[in-house]
Structure 1
Amino acid sequence: MTVQPTEPTTPRLEWFKSSYSTGNGGECVEVAAAPTHVHIRDSKWPSGPMLTLGPGAWASFVGLIAD
């Protein structure tokens, strides 16, 4: 039997730190945008759980914290 490598079916996410992260150990939020969802995780625990929101929920969240 021969095993053929396959392409991943889920694209790799590109994570971005919050612009409010200081680099002094306080950074905690990273965001990755996908075509249909926005993913949020703790930068100090990248393999930990992540929160996934739809675009509408993300826009509402950002609107609330911007006020």
Structure 2
Amino acid sequence: MSEYSAPVGAPIWFDLVSSDPERAAEFYHEIFGWELATPPQEKFGGYQNFTLNGKQIAGLAP
């Protein structure tokens, strides 16, 4: 298991819900540089993960 260090009180994970996941992914990529790391996981309702600098940092659900 990898170790992650963040300042006390800093957010370390975000779950985003969007009616337009493709557009949301483009928005977060343009604003924060987040990359989609996984294709939509149908067994999890289309959930996907974002990464930043190789670390998973957020999820996206339709």
Q: Which has the higher contact order (CA 8 A, sep 6+)?
A: 2
TM-score scaled by structure 2?
Answer: 0.24
**Structure 1 or 2: more helix by fraction:** 2
TM-score by length of 1: 0.23
| Larger strand proportion of the pair | 2
Structure label with greater radius of gyration:
1
